[in-house]
Structure 1
Amino acid sequence: MKTLGYIYGVILHVLNNKISVDKALEMIRAVLSELDKESVQKQ
């Protein structure tokens, strides 16, 4: 569940204009693809 917290943190940064939306989407995509790799390895 810490991934949700990470994504939430990224969104907060966007709202605070600390990072651009494009950068945020990039970061979120990277995390989600890592999760996919982990879940595939568990199977």
Structure 2
Amino acid sequence: QAIHEGIAGSTLHVFADCGHLPAMERPDEATGLLRAWLAEGSAL
């Protein structure tokens, strides 16, 4: 959270009941968030 607060324009998503591997533990949720972020054009 501290890193998020230090980066202007950033977003933070906390995966419920998830450990260190959200892409494996919650693949649909993780992929959806990543696709939405890429669609915004924020990646470039």
Given the two structures, how large is their TM-score scaled by the length of structure 1? 0.40
Given the two structures, how large is their TM-score scaled by the length of structure 2? 0.39
From the two aligned structures, give the one with the greater helix fraction.
1
Q: Relative contact order, CA 8 A, sep 6+: which one is greater?
A: 1
